[in-house]
């Protein structure tokens, strides 16, 4: 018998969330959670929200490709606001719309924002970098 998923309270665009982002070849939740950037929150079926999430990784952060931007400790305030433990890059070429429930999202260690998947938020000073990455990913996907 499968239990019903637990739905989290509404997140906001710009939130950095703890997510079991699906592997490229699967449509199942990954076993390892990672940070994602919420770029759109769909409330059509509130209180069952959906989130357009952008993949985050701490791997090869010093090498950025089109469609990527990073949050590092060099951006002291931005890094603190993001709630990240490691320098992290977000890749707009890897994004997916997911139900905002406990199948796909979980509470991070330390629960910095209470019992929700929220790690932190995107600093306003990084919005321009994120927008450039988004545009680069959009241009790249239209050429395919």
* Residue 7 dihedral angles phi and psi, to the nearest 5°: -95, 135
Q: How many domains does the chain have?
A: 1
Could you tell me what percent of the chain has a pLDDT over 70? 93
Distance in angstroms (rounded) separating the CA atoms of residues 138 and 124? 21
- Structural domain contains residue 6: no
For the domain that residue 34 is a member of, what is the CATH number?
Answer: 2.30.30.110
Range of the domain at 102: 15-142
- Structural domain contains residue 1: no
For the stretch 140-143, contacts whose Cβ atoms lie closer than 8 Å and that sit 24 or more positions apart, written own/partner, are 140/66, 140/67, 140/93, 141/93
- Structural domain contains residue 101: yes
- Structural domain contains residue 114: yes
Share the mean pLDDT of the chain.
92
- Quick: pLDDT tens for 75-111: 999 999 999 999 999 999 999 999 999 999 999 998 9
| pLDDT on residue 96 | 93
- Structural domain contains residue 8: no
């Amino acid at each position: 018998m499968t239990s019903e998923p637990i739905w989290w309270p509404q997140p906001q665009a710009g939130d950095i969330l703890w997510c079991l982002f699906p592997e490229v070849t699967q449509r199942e939740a990954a076993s390892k959670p990672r940070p994602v950037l919420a770029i759109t929150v769909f409330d059509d079926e509130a209180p069952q929200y959906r989130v357009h999430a952008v993949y985050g990784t701490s791997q090869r952060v010093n090498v950025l490709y089109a469609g990527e931007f990073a949050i590092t400790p060099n951006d002291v305030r931005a890094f603190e606001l993001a709630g990240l433990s490691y320098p992290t890059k977000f890749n707009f070429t890897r994004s997916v719309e997911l139900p905002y429930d406990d199948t796909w999202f979980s509470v991070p260690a330390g629960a910095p924002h209470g019992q929700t998947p929220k790690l932190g938020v995107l600093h306003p000073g990084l919005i321009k970098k994120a927008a450039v990455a988004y545009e680069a990913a959009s241009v790249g996907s239209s050429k395919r």
